[in-house]
Amino acid sequence: MKNSISTPNNIVRTAIRRSFPQILLTAVLIIMIIGLSVSSEFFFTWKNFRNILDQCSVYLLLSLGMTFVIASGGIDLSVGSIAGMSGVIMAVLMKAGMPVLPAVLLGILSGVLTGIINGALISYLKLFPFITTLATMTITRGIALVLTGGVSIYGFSQSFKWWGTGTIGPINPPIAISLLFTIIAAIIMSRTLWGKYSLAIGGNAEALRRSGVNVKGYRISIYAVSSLCAAIAGLIMTARLNSAAPLAGSGYEMDAIAAVVLGGGSLNGGSGAILGTFIACFTLSVLRNGLTMLAIPTYYQQLITGVIILLAIIIAEARNRREKESE
Amino acid sequence: MGEQLQPFLEVKELKKSFGHIEALKGASLQAKCGEVLAIVGDNGAGKSTLIKTLSGVLTPDSGSIIVDGKEYGHLTPKLAGDNGISTVYQDLSLVNTQTVWENIFLGHEYRNFGWLNKKKMRREAAELLNNLNISIHNHEEIVGNLSGGQRQAIAVARAIHHGGKMIILDEPTAAMGLRETAATQQLIKNLAVQGYGVIIISHNIQQVFELSDRICVMRQGQVLALVDTKSVTSDDIVSMIVSGTSLNGAIQ
């Protein structure tokens, strides 16, 4: 056969070649787990593993939405602030006497609306995602500050706190929600038109438009999904701490962006993998957990995390470049 | 070859102005399936404007376009596509970060109860490329890693897959190397043999003679001549493009 085409062998080989960032990351994760298990007897226990997943859940939710945004060639700086604002709106409504469920739903809706506004500004006014979401980041943070008067709102009913501290069998709602969302996101990314178009918009939006696809609509829905994830992260944050702080979630967008890029996403758009994002989030959480266990002071932890992120990105980038030149 | 049937595409007295500039001053033309028609002319002769009205991107001020017996005052991109007119733009409109088969099905993906049917798309892409004699080793490769000729071939395959019967190619071999140019020219010949109509815009006179069955010379917004390639010499064509008259002074 002169056309060797899409044989199963080809599919697998190409997939492995393209998964280099994720494979590298997994190797780093395994080495870290082995090292930490040797140095601390408390590390390799179910209790600690559950703790890591719990710590990871909020970042993971933000990163899942961010994966689609970055795949589409955009960026969403507003997710941390949206998480904060949604939590504050839930808190304000509940304090005003609204039952838990409608308060939570309205809080999430406020977040999704912000995402739709982000997407509409970017699609219809052709504004840069960076500057658009920087503005909405500031606006949503401002709304949270205005609603709270700058003071945390705390003390909620048991049924609300369940979302952060309850138990579902061996795990808790934050872990359950974040893992469920990971699975759904992975299926959407690889099996649906929506996932494929998120990647295609980042690859060549004009080509997709010429093929008759409603690119504007898809782009708006991508930012809406990102903010939906952020609002649910806001629910978990607020319920876990039993407190809605006006500055909750500040800077979380940066962790989410770092996780997506570590997991194989490119800020040029066109690439992004849910499994990679998940492994990256988990690795960063293991790293933080391990550094704490090794009793390394918090200030150093920040420094070490930053250096590791930088190294990982340099290695992945160098490899990308080499592959391009060899072809 | 190509003398059979009525023309698949007929353009009558198309006019189009941009402000006070008349880009088309009543251009008329016919194109058949199974033949390669080359449109030549100097910059500003109206080639691009004509092509854009055929692909539905531009609306002409007057005149008509008859496709497969149906007459239209103007086309939209969708209408052009539905009627089998498919334009491959110079930039090819490929998503470089996606695979060969994903690009062929871009915007026309197969789904099974809402889920992408990758198996069927992979199989049909392989069949299509095979039928068109396009050789690409790995259909899982992302298009950005392929050569210019292969990328052109994928863009053409996509146009045909989307129902194209009349394929319009804008400068198909611009910025290509020798081998890639040869491969693309072979592809264009194959298309005509298989019964597709091909319209190419080209500045390369040698290529025009190599490929085309008929040549349409445009000058100052009008079709100056529509001739059988065999009945003219390249000097005739160059003379018509430059000065508006053929060497022996006669036109058509």
Q: Which two tokens stand for residue A313?
A: 């990105």
**A37 alpha carbon, distance to own chain's centre:** 27
pLDDT confidence bin for A247, thresholds 50/70/90: very high
Q: Give residue-wise pLDDT tens across range A270-311.
A: 989 999 999 999 999 999 999 998 888 888 888 988 888 888
Across the interface, whether the CB atoms of B136 and A211 are under 8 A apart is answered no
Question: Would you call A270 an interface residue with chain B, using a CB distance cutoff of 8 Å?
Answer: yes
Using CB atoms, pick whichever of B106, B130, B135 lies closest to residue A211: B106
Across the interface, whether the CB atoms of B93 and A196 are under 8 A apart is answered no
**A236 close to A174: Cβ distance less than 8 angstroms:** yes
For residues B144 and A323, what is the distance between their CA atoms, to the nearest angstrom? 12
Cα angle at A201 between B121 and A77, to 5 degrees?
A: 140
CATH class (in words) of the domain with range B9-243: alpha beta
Q: Where are the domains of chain A?
A: 46-321
For residues B249 and A177, what is the distance between their CA atoms, to the nearest angstrom? 81
Measure B145 CA to nearest chain A CA, in Å. Answer: 7
Across the interface, whether the CB atoms of B98 and A270 are under 8 A apart is answered yes
* pLDDT reported for residue B250: 54
Q: Where are the domains of chain B?
A: 9-243
* pLDDT reported for residue B2: 42
Q: Give residue-wise pLDDT tens across range A35-69.
A: 999 998 899 999 999 999 999 999 999 999 999 99
| CA closest to B102 among chain A residues | A196
Give the ranges where chain A is alpha helix by DSSP (H): 8-18, 20-39, 46-71, 79-95, 100-124, 129-148, 158-165, 173-191, 193-210, 215-241, 252-262, 274-293, 298-326
For residues A130 and A254, what is the distance between their CA atoms, to the nearest angstrom? 12
Q: Give residue-wise pLDDT tens across range A71-120.
A: 999 999 999 999 999 999 999 999 999 999 999 999 999 999 999 999 99
For residues A25 and B35, what is the distance between their CA atoms, to the nearest angstrom? 55
* Complex prediction ipTM: 0.87
A149, pLDDT greater than 60: yes
Question: Would you call A3 an interface residue with chain B, using a CB distance cutoff of 8 Å?
Answer: yes
CATH code of domain A46-321? 1.10.3470
- Test the A interface: residue of B140, B146, B170 with most A CBs within 10 Å: B140
Q: What is the mean pLDDT of chain B?
A: 89
Phi/psi of residue A222, nearest 5 degrees: -65, -45
Q: What is the mean pLDDT of each run of 10 residues along chain B (252 residues)?
A: 68 92 91 94 90 90 92 89 89 92 93 94 92 85 89 91 90 84 90 93 91 93 91 90 73 50
Least confident of A4-18, A132-146, B159-173, B215-229: A4-18
Across the interface, whether the CB atoms of A3 and B126 are under 8 A apart is answered yes
A8, pLDDT greater than 80: no
Q: Which two tokens stand for residue A20?
A: 């280099």
* pLDDT reported for residue B76: 86
Residue with tokens 């190797």: A27
Q: What is the percent of chain A where pLDDT is above 90?
A: 76
Q: Which two tokens stand for residue A283?
A: 């690795």
| CA closest to B105 among chain A residues | A211
